[in-house]
Amino acid sequence: MKKLIYIFLINIFITNYSSALIEVDITRGNLDPLPIAVSPLHVDIKSEKYKEINVKELGEKISGIIEKNFKNTGLFNPLKKDAFVQKPDIAHVKPRFEDWRLIKAQALVTGKLLISGDKLKVEFRLWDLAAAQEMTALAFTTTPSNWRRVAHIISDKIYERLTGEEGYFDTRIIYVAESGPKTQRVKKLAIMDQDGFNTKYLTLGNELVLTPRFNPTNQMVTYMSYFRNMPRVYLLDIETGTQEVVGNFPGMTFAPRFSPDGKKIIMSFAKDGNSDIFTMDLETRLVERITEHSSIDTSPSFSPDGKFIAFNSDRSGLQQIYVMRSDGSNVKRITFGKGIYGTPVWSPRGDLIAFTKMHKGRFYIGVMRTDGTGERLLTENYYQEAPSWSPNGRVLVFYRETKSGSKGEGFSAKLWSIDITGYNERRLSTKTDASDPSWSSLLTK
């Protein structure tokens, strides 16, 4: 048993995939969230002190994060702990299923942890209370300072087991932190955990920065900066902090994103009043022109297989969304609805494109199939744009601005998220005003 706990991230118990077990359907809005009891993780009394961490409370803190993650999905209803009927250590070994059913729980999460020799060892189990059996279990070891991530990883595993799809909790969001009056906004790159914790600023705010986006491995970020009053696309290594300009363009480059293999950056280059789409291979430095049109072509986004590119262009008058092959051939307009369409972003699952729509002075975030059919508007507001996908393709994060008065009063910019079902719209907590969010992929797979 003890040996097994040392094995990082592998299932140690036999998992039962019987189809009779509970399942959560995430393909539609869930008005009847699954009641789930998250027992505090039992803290082994042999646990040693570690830096600033309050070891005694760690079990409750981790279960608290799991509960918050679940609540935010709108799919689960974490039950209040004061009704819990069993001590965490006993429940983890052998839950009394009847007692948990009495408090109307359908699923139960139990676990335990031990800090020893600068290592945090955690295991957890997910129980189906109606079927009176264990659904999944996992044990892993990490450094104690990673304890919040432990909670997110457990959340992901449970979400995956109950919904049949990957979770999105052990992820981060990079965004632009905003402060100051509307006419003199100070903007910094910021990164935080998906739940708003561990905010770090990556630039100082000396120059305007916009539209950061992660590479597939989440170590690099491409963004736009006005460093030395030269608006250009930059590449930033988050770990080392090194930055470089992408390419050597004689004018503004903007709207950058990575290709799905992370090898190229796709972006717009503006010259003489005309913006076209280009790619640059980060290894060979080879620059390729993708579109050549006298209109504004921008906001490019690759399909996850790398074969297609969605972008917006005003070649037909006002902004519309187009799809083309990744070499720029076979350009097809896909939006024909009333209004202006922009910021297409291909879902990581490949089946949908998220977009911003402007119509009669209102702004919408929506999704459509990749041929433009099946448009669904998810949310309407005074101003909102720039959707970014959760790694499992179920949730969109975007930013929303409010109206302001003659001195700029009342103005705010905040991050919001919404399920692609159109349900569960909620504001993400950020330390400052925020815009241009980009959601990472899962940090641990």
Partner 1 sequence: MTLKSNLKNILLVIFTTLLFSACSTAKKSADIEGDVYTGKETVEYLAAGVPDRVFFATNKSSLTTASRATLRKQATFLRKNKNLNVVIEGHADERGTREYNLALGERRANAARDYLMTYGISGKRLSVISYGKEKPVNPKSSPISWSQNRRSVTVKVN
What is the layout of strands, in order, in the sheet containing 220-225? 209-214, 220-225, 232-237, 243-245
Give the count of residues interacting with partner 1 (CB under 8 A).
Answer: 47
Q: Tokens 């009333």 — which residue?
A: 338
User: Which CB, 147 or 269, lies closer to partner 1?
Assistant: 269
Name the phi and psi angles at 302, rounded to 5. -75, 150
Kindly state whether residue 416 participates in binding partner 1, applying the rule CB under 8 A: no
Strands 264-271 and 253-258: antiparallel
Helix (H, G, I), strand (E, B) or coil at 25: coil
CB of 354 to partner 1, least distance (A): 13
User: Which CB, 46 or 360, lies closer to partner 1?
Assistant: 360
Which of 39, 47, 73, 299 lies at the binding interface for partner 1 (CB under 8 A)?
Answer: 299
CB of 254 to partner 1, least distance (A): 5
CA neighbours within 13 Å on the CB side: how many for 245?
A: 14
Segment 347-376, which members bind partner 1 (CB under 8 A)?
Answer: 356, 358, 361
In angstroms, the CA 199 to CA 437 distance is: 13
Which of 411, 409, 407 is CA-nearest to residue 399? 411
Q: Which stretch binds partner 1 (CB under 8 A): 68-76, 192-200, 282-290, 407-415?
A: 407-415
CB 410 within 8 A of CB 186: no
CB of 314 to partner 1, least distance (A): 7
Kindly state whether residue 275 participates in binding partner 1, applying the rule CB under 8 A: yes
CA neighbours within 13 Å on the CB side: how many for 229?
A: 0
Which of 106, 171, 312, 438 lies at the binding interface for partner 1 (CB under 8 A)?
Answer: 312
Kindly state whether residue 254 participates in binding partner 1, applying the rule CB under 8 A: yes
Identify any residues that bridge with 137 across adjacent strands, giving them in sequence order: 125
Kindly state whether residue 123 participates in binding partner 1, applying the rule CB under 8 A: no
C-alpha angle 172/145/118, rounded to 5°?
145
> Which residue type is seen at 291?
T
In angstroms, the CA 74 to CA 354 distance is: 21
In angstroms, the CA 141 to CA 87 distance is: 24
Kindly state whether residue 401 participates in binding partner 1, applying the rule CB under 8 A: yes
CB of 271 to partner 1, least distance (A): 8
Which of 51, 228, 338, 403 lies at the binding interface for partner 1 (CB under 8 A)?
Answer: 403
In angstroms, the CA 291 to CA 300 distance is: 11
Kindly state whether residue 343 participates in binding partner 1, applying the rule CB under 8 A: yes
CA distances 307 to 68, 74, 272, 329, Å, are: 38, 34, 30, 11
CA distances 392 to 130, 216, 229, 385, Å, are: 28, 13, 38, 20
User: Which CB, 100 or 269, lies closer to partner 1?
Assistant: 269
Q: Which stretch binds partner 1 (CB under 8 A): 104-112, 151-159, 177-185, 423-431?
A: 177-185
Site string for partner 1, 87-106 (x = CB under 8 A): --------------------
Q: Which stretch binds partner 1 (CB under 8 A): 57-65, 280-288, 296-304, 320-328?
A: 296-304
Kindly state whether residue 381 participates in binding partner 1, applying the rule CB under 8 A: no
Kindly state whether residue 268 participates in binding partner 1, applying the rule CB under 8 A: yes
In whole angstroms, how large is the CA radius of gyration of the chain? 24
User: Which CB, 155 or 253, lies closer to partner 1?
Assistant: 253
**Residues in the site for partner 1, rule: CB under 8 A?**
181-183, 185, 208, 210-211, 224, 229, 231, 251-252, 254-255, 268, 270, 272-275, 296, 298-299, 312, 314, 318-319, 340, 342-343, 356, 358, 361, 382-383, 385-386, 401, 403-408, 411, 435-436
